[in-house]
Amino acid sequence: MINKLCYVSALTLTFGLLCGCETIQLGNQQQDTKIRSLTASTQENARAFEIHSQKIQRLQEDSAALPGKIDSLQRQINYIYEQNQQQAKEIANMRAELAGERQQRQTQLNQMVQTVAEQTAKAVNSAAAANDNSSNTKADSGPPPGKYYKYQVQAGATLIAIAKAYKVSVDDIKKANRMKDDFIRTGQTLYIPQAD
């Protein structure tokens, strides 16, 4: 009976050891799986860390280059600003020159008008004096019957200016001289009707 008891005890002990070993072996397998999983996760984290480190390094390099780029852009902006200022000065100078030229041309035009007016007035006065000294009854085949001044066209004179100087209409001058248009030439003799 002791033998049986020893045998049963030995079997129980063996069974317990086997079960314990199997439990330990299962625990070891689970730990190995966990270790492999943790190792894989650690490797993934290491790869992600490496990628992020590279990105951070590139960002740091880009950030380090930014002040130089900003400085270059600022120099370009300053250059463009100076060019714009120079062009604005040149435009202002050109406008002033144009205004001066316009004023000079206007002055010259006014002088020409004044000269023409003076020459026309002289011609009118000399024609009036000549008419006063000559007889008005002298027969002249040029104009229709009536009293006329003789006027020799001066350079730059126009029918309008002559008509104003003699205080007659352009149509009266054209009728007296049998003119079909307003064209007159320097040196031409015109008959100007005398206003009553």
Domains in the chain: boundaries:
117-193
What pLDDT score was predicted for residue 43? 84
Question: Tokens 């007659």 identify what position?
Answer: 168
Mean pLDDT of 58-76: 86
Q: Are 191 and 146 in contact (CB under 8 A)?
A: no
CA 142 vs CA 4, 117, 179: distances in Å: 179, 26, 12
**Mind listing the pLDDT tens digit for each residue in 140-185?**
456 778 889 999 999 989 999 999 999 999 999 999 999 999 899 9
pTM exceeds cut of 0.75: no
- The secondary structure of 25-63, three-state, reads HHHHHHHHHHHHHHHHHHHHHHHHHHHHHHHHHHHHHHH
Can you give the pLDDT at residue 184? Answer: 92
SS3 (DSSP) at 189: strand
Pairing mode, if any, of strands 148-152 and 189-193? antiparallel
The per-residue pLDDT for 146 is: 81
Per the rule left: phi > 0, alpha: psi between -120 and 50, beta: everything else, 172 is alpha
Instruction: Provide, rounded to the nearest whole percent, the portion of the chain with pLDDT above 70.
Output: 74
pLDDT higher than 60, residue 30: yes
Q: Give residue 13's pLDDT band: very low, low, confident or very high (50, 70, 90).
A: low
Q: What is the dihedral of CA 102, 108, 110, 114, to 10 degrees?
A: 180
Phi-psi region of 154 (alpha: psi -120 to 50; beta: other; left: phi over 0): beta
- Identify which of 132, 128, 114, 118 has the alpha carbon closest to the alpha carbon of residue 168: 128
Q: What is the CATH number of domain 117-193?
A: 3.10.350.10
Query: What is the 8-class DSSP label of residue 22?
Result: H
CB proximity list for 117: less than 8 A, separation 6 or greater: 161, 165
N residues, the chain: 196
Residue 118: predicted pLDDT? 72
Rounded average pLDDT over 37-62: 85
